[in-house]
């Protein structure tokens, strides 16, 4: 059974996200833990979580992926910017325990001119501060397009971060098809080779989620512009091959494609379910 969903608004709480997901034949979903540009998170409503658990069970939703605000930068040079990232991470991971056993995705960070080595160490240090042995949440580092000073544009950089994390059992990777394509990994023409390289560098056991996006730009463009499935340079057939690939097919897939409303994602989910073999 294909586990697929899209990025939903969390404005009306967890129960509403399960309802929205169910309404478009999704059986998972992603959301921002707070305003994507940062800011304070709404307190967790225990009644909402309980209503969510009930609806999720009926709808066959077992997993979701919370996404950290994308402005947060644990590799920042400015102490106050870095402290903000640490505060957000610690608070989000605490809140995640209201829904035990789920996944939390973050962009590793940008080294802002300090160099990749410094950035990698700052990110690992941040994770060593916020991860707790007793947490049930798995923190995912997202593969990035490598634009600007982004860390995580190569599998090797993600492997270096994870290699320096003490509680690495709580850490995995989310592979974004648009980002890796823009980073120069040919998931359209050489998917097996890309996964082999991922396995060599990071280990496929670390791969826990896929962001399924087409890319506006050519292979290696380092741009990061998502487009709808089949409307970009990766193409529908290649993305259908991703959801069918024997080593990926049991993972949850999350669409982060630009859509005007839920019906756009409903159509993409229907098309990908139709393309799923077995
Ligand atoms: Fe992301
Ligand atoms: Fe993504
Ligand atoms: Zn992106």
Q: How far is the CA of 198 from the centre of ligand 1 (A)?
A: 18
Return the pLDDT at 52: 98
pTM of the shown model: 0.98
pLDDT along the chain (278 residues), means of 10: 97 97 98 87 95 98 97 97 97 98 98 98 98 98 98 98 98 99 98 98 98 98 98 98 98 98 98 96
How many Å apart are CA 274 and CA 24, to the nearest integer?
14
Q: What angle do CA 277, 142, 34 make, to 5 degrees?
A: 105
Neighbours of ion ligand 1 (CB under 5 A): 142
Of 50, 44, 86, 48, which Cα lies nearest the Cα of 68?
86
Return the pLDDT at 2: 98
Q: How far is the CA of 145 from the centre of ligand 3 (A)?
A: 7
Please give the C-alpha separations between residue 228 and each of 137, 171, 257, in angstroms, as whole numbers. Answer: 30, 29, 5
Return the pLDDT at 42: 87
Neighbours of ion ligand 3 (CB under 5 A): 224
Return the pLDDT at 36: 80
Q: How far is the CA of 243 from the centre of ligand 2 (A)?
A: 16
Return the pLDDT at 37: 80
Q: How far is the CA of 175 from the centre of ligand 1 (A)?
A: 10
How many Å apart are CA 272 and CA 60, to the nearest integer?
18
Return the pLDDT at 83: 98
């Amino acid at each position: 059974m294909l586990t697929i969903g899209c990025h939903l608004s969390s404005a009306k709480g967890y129960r509403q996200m399960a309802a929205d997901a169910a309404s478009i034949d999704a059986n998972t979903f992603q959301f921002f833990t707070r305003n994507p540009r940062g800011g304070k998170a709404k307190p967790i409503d225990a009644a909402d979580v309980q209503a969510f658990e009930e609806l999720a069970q009926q709808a066959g939703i077992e997993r979701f992926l919370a996404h950290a605000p994308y402005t947060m930068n644990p590799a920042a040079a400015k102490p106050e910017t870095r402290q903000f990232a640490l505060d957000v991470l610690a608070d989000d991971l605490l809140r995640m325990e209201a829904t035990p056993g789920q996944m939390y995705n973050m962009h590793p960070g940008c080294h802002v001119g300090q160099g990749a080595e410094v950035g990698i160490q700052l990110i690992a240090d941040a994770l060593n501060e916020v991860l707790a042995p007793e947490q049930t949440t798995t923190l995912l580092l997202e593969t990035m397009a490598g634009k600007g000073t982004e860390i995580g544009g190569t599998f090797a950089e993600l492997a270096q971060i994870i290699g320096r994390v003490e509680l690495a059992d709580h850490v995995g990777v989310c592979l974004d098809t648009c980002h890796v394509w823009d980073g120069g990994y040919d998931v359209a023409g050489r998917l097996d080779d890309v996964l082999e390289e991922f396995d060599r560098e990071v280990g496929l056991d670390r791969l826990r989620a896929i962001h399924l996006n087409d890319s506006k730009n050519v292979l290696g463009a380092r741009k990061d512009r998502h487009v709808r499935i089949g409307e970009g340079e990766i193409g529908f057939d290649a993305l259908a091959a991703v959801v069918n690939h024997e080593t990926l097919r049991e993972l949850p897939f999350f669409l982060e494609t630009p859509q005007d409303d839920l019906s756009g994602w409903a159509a993409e989910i229907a098309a990908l379910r139709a393309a799923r073999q077995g």
